[in-house]
Structure 1
Amino acid sequence: MTAIEIEYCVPCGLLEPAIETQTRLLTEFGQDLDGVTLSPGHGGVFVVTADGETIWDKEVHGADLDLNLIVEAINDQLPAET
């Protein structure tokens, strides 16, 4: 199973995109995940990790959140169904 963490900047008002990302991942993958944890941060951070591996980082990918790219990357992290 895969554990997802979304670290988001509280002062920047990124809670809403974090919740949107969390909801989308739970909707897409539900029981295939150990969980999707929201972790408050600061300094403009918005980072999505899967089992400690960075999937999305606002500093690298830019300010526009691409949920489809995140979903694809998480899907690639999940073990293949047998």
Structure 2
Amino acid sequence: MTRVEIEYCVPCGMLNRAQDVSRALLEQFGEGLDEVALVTGEKGAFVVRADDEVVFDKAEDEYDVDAIVRAVRPYVGATP
């Protein structure tokens, strides 16, 4: 099963984005995910990891919930 970790910057107010991504992943993959964890961070962090592999990093990628869901898809074995 797949574990997804969403690290978000607390001081930056990124909780809403983390919740939006979490909700989208759970709606899309449901029981295909073992866990979706929200992990507090700082210094502008907003990083999504699937099975410990970075699939999204705000420092490098443009925020797009649908793109993040697509990036996680290969880790849950879902078909396009």
TM-score tier after normalising by the smaller chain length: over 0.9
Residue 20 of structure 2 aligns with which residue? 20
Q: Distance in 1 between matches of 2:36 and 2:19?
A: 10
Q: Which residues of structure 1 form unaligned runs of 5+?
A: none
Identity %: 46
Please give the per-residue CA displacement for 1:26-64, whole angstroms capped at 9, x wherever unaligned. Answer: 0000100001000000000000000000010000114xx
Larger mean Cα displacement after TM superposition, 67-76 or 12-21: 67-76
Question: Which 4+ residue blocks in structure 1 deviate beyond 2 angstroms?
Answer: none
- Any idea what SS the aligned residue of 1:39 has? strand
Residue 4 of structure 2 aligns with which residue? 4
Paired amino acid for 1:8: Y
Pairs aligned (count)? 79
Q: Could you tell me the TM-score, scaled by structure 2's length?
A: 0.93
Q: Which residues of structure 2 form unaligned runs of 5+?
A: none
Q: Could you tell me the TM-score, scaled by structure 1's length?
A: 0.90
Q: Distance in 1 between matches of 2:77 and 2:17?
A: 26
Q: Distance in 2 between matches of 1:74 and 1:44?
A: 22
**Aligned-pair distance for 1:78?**
1.7
- Any idea what SS the aligned residue of 1:73 has? helix
- Any idea what SS the aligned residue of 1:43 has? coil
